Amino acid sequence: MLEVENLSVSYRGISALEAISLSLMPGELVGLIGPNGAGKSTLIKAILGLAPCQGQVLFNGIPLRRQRRRVTYVPQRSQIDWDYPVTVWNVVMMAQTKSLGWGRRPGNEAKRLTSAALDRVDMLTLKDRPIGQLSGGQQQRVFLARALAQQAELFLLDEPFTGIDKKTEAIMVDIFAELSAQQKTLLVCSHEWGDNLNRYDRLLLLNRKLLADDRPQAVMTMDNIQRAFGSNMPSRFTQPRTMRLVS
Amino acid sequence: MDWLLDPLNYDFMRQALMAGVLIGVLCPVVGTFLIVQQMALLGDVVAHAVLPGLAIANFLQIPLLLGAFISGMISTFVTTWIQTQSKVKIDTAMAITFSSFFALGITLLTTLKSRLDLEELLFGDILGITVADVWQVGLITVAILIAVKFFYKELLFFTFDRLGAEASGLPVNAINLGLMTVITLAIVAGMKTVGVILVMALMISPAAAASLLTTELHWMMMIGSGLGVLSSLIGMYMSYFLNIPSGPAITLTLFVCFLLALLFSPSQGVLTSHFSMAKGQNSLD
Ligand SMILES: Nc1ncnc2c1ncn2[C@@H]1O[C@H](COP(=O)(O)OP(=O)(O)OP(=O)(O)O)[C@@H](O)[C@H]1O
Ligand SMILES: [Mg+2]
């Protein structure tokens, strides 16, 4: 179980997150939603200990930063330089870096995990491609494969559904269901707004503070949208079926 | 072929060529890490920032390389510090640091009445390379290549996805410090051969040319090193025959290499990729 207690983040004196407390159960698939700049990425980074933060993050009762192998992180697409000279295979192999240890080359087990993960996201045939020569959806699948190959218990994914194709979306939804059946914990950041959000067990609505934490149906109310987006709410949010939290 | 062998009769030229080969292998390997992190200019910062260290080391009669190393490392800290403490972007921080250190270096060199040959330091001089220099460069090169090989997968992860690497528990601050150390060492080693102004060319140009020819990091390093050695040798001969400083000779050769890669790279060349597209080939496969 992941327990976040009173987590606050400020960047150079400007508060980005205020006293966030939440808990995630094993097997739970939780969506983290909120407008641009709400602090979704910041919350994920703070949970991982990658942002300057105050508060406590415990996983199964022990500070998460002392057991980083149990958690895996899929960064927001925009954070990666897709021209970096590296192949699909070597990106997924990065998941083994920590467990192999300094100076060790990947052995059979590492190769098996890598190839199984690539196969799971249907990218094994493209394993020798440079990542820059993939579509956005394929790139996202490579990062999901890297997360799978790490065999973690807690998955933190930053906007995995942004800019992907139908096939990737189907694969990802399927994998999330499988992981949650294996009692893994998943926290997924999202821009989407609409029926898609019903695929989560629970939604966290964030805008600097945690505004709502409930079942999707209970969170997706006009009242809550207004609270999250304030008076600057774009007009398209008034039509719930097609609503998207876009930039 | 006499013109090829003739210069080898001189000790200084043999030493210069040896140093050139070593530096030609080393600098592109290190420069590759700078390029993929979009920090190519950091090489320039460190290269200029070694000057105050050289001046002080010369004044205090301690080894020049040590002074240069310390001062170069300080410049990387100052750059990072400016960037993390304010909203000033990294390129601005670099520009501020390197010009200030350079100015400080020139000031110290003049006020401390240093007997260092400024022109040799700035542009390299094949006459100035001693046997001891070759040994120093050799040791630094071997040490860095071994370290890069040993820590390769960590360095790959770190330079590709720093947050991901940190999230997975890699000691990113230590890795970053290691990289800065390696970059500074490589620059200090290359100083004698190409001079502080142009050592960056040897780090960046061959690796950049290689990046146009391949799509994997280790190949970028290897092809870069090959081009680095080739350009070093050609540059040294040009320096010998045309009586120009070695730094500019090597740098201009490197530029020609880069230009050739830019124009004729099989997959990404300005001329060749147009050609292959015209023929209806898929340059991706
Ligand atoms: N490294 C940083 N330094 C300073 N401010 C930052 C930094 N990272 C984020 N912020 C600020 O913190 C706030 C939250 O940013 P964050 O990236 O977490 O939002 P987000 O919800 O992920 O937005 P998006 O939907 O655009 O990804 C923003 O106001 C942003 O400007
Ligand atoms: Mg974000």
- Ion ligand 2: residues, Cβ under 5 Å: A 40-41
CATH number where A119 lies = 3.40.50.300
| pLDDT, tens digit, 9 for 90 and up, residues B222-261 | 999 999 999 999 999 998 899 888 889 999 999 999 999 9
pLDDT (0 to 100) of residue B221: 96
Q: Is residue A223 part of a domain?
A: yes
Percent of chain B clearing pLDDT 90 (strictly above): 61
> Span A223-231, mean pLDDT?
73
> Span B171-192, mean pLDDT?
92
- Point out the ligand 1 atom lying closest to the alpha carbon of residue A14: 5
Q: How close is the Cα of A158 to the center of ligand 2, in Å?
A: 7
Which residue of A41, A53, A208 sits with most ligand 1 atoms within 8 Å of its CB, as the best mutation to test the pocket?
A41
Q: Is residue A244 part of a domain?
A: no
Q: Mutating which of B215, B222, B265, B284 best tests the A interface, going by the most A Cβ atoms within 10 A?
A: B215
> Span A35-60, mean pLDDT?
91
Predicted structure pTM score: 0.90
Q: What band does A232 get if pLDDT is binned at 50, 70 and 90?
A: low
With a Cβ cut-off of 6 Å, ligand 1 is lined by A 11, 16, 34, 36-42, 76
| pLDDT, tens digit, 9 for 90 and up, residues B87-120 | 888 889 999 999 999 999 999 988 987 777 888 8
pLDDT (0 to 100) of residue B129: 86
Q: How close is the Cα of B161 to the center of ligand 1, in Å?
A: 18
Q: How close is the Cα of A42 to the center of ligand 1, in Å?
A: 6
Total structural domains within chain A: 1
Question: Is pLDDT of B278 > 60?
Answer: no
**Beta-carbon separation of B211 and A85 below 8 A:** yes
Q: Is residue A139 part of a domain?
A: yes
> Span A54-60, mean pLDDT?
91
* Distance, CA of A187 to CA of B142 (rounded, Å): 46
Q: How close is the Cα of B97 to the center of ligand 2, in Å?
A: 31
Domain range for residue A36? Answer: 2-238
For chain B, which residues make up each domain, given as ranges? 2-275
Query: B169 to chain A: nearest residue by CA?
Result: A68
Q: Which residue has the higher pLDDT, B194 or A204?
A: A204
| pLDDT, tens digit, 9 for 90 and up, residues B47-56 | 999 999 999 9
Q: Nearest CA of chain A to the CA of B103: how many Å?
A: 31
- CATH class for the domain made up of B2-275: mainly alpha
pLDDT (0 to 100) of residue B275: 59
Task: Enter the tokens of residue A126.
Answer: 């493209």
Q: Nearest CA of chain A to the CA of B269: how many Å?
A: 16
**Beta-carbon separation of A94 and B170 below 8 A:** no
Q: Mutating which of A73, A82, A84, A90 best tests the B interface, going by the most B Cβ atoms within 10 A?
A: A84
Average pLDDT over all residues of chain A: 88
Query: B148 to chain A: nearest residue by CA?
Result: A103
Q: Is residue A246 part of a domain?
A: no
CB within 8 Å of B150: residues ≥ 6 apart = A102, A103
Query: B284 to chain A: nearest residue by CA?
Result: A133
Q: What band does B274 get if pLDDT is binned at 50, 70 and 90?
A: low
Q: What band does A241 get if pLDDT is binned at 50, 70 and 90?
A: very low
Question: Is pLDDT of B21 > 60?
Answer: yes
Q: Is residue A243 part of a domain?
A: no
Question: Is pLDDT of A44 > 90?
Answer: yes
* Distance, CA of A118 to CA of A144 (rounded, Å): 9
| pLDDT, tens digit, 9 for 90 and up, residues B47-88 | 999 999 999 998 999 988 899 999 999 999 999 899 888 888
pLDDT (0 to 100) of residue A240: 46
Q: What band does B277 get if pLDDT is binned at 50, 70 and 90?
A: low
Q: What ipTM was assigned to the predicted interfaces of this complex? A: 0.89
Instruction: With beta carbons under 8 A apart, name residues in chain B contacting A75.
Output: 161, 163-164
pLDDT (0 to 100) of residue A235: 47
> Span A138-152, mean pLDDT?
95
pLDDT (0 to 100) of residue B281: 44
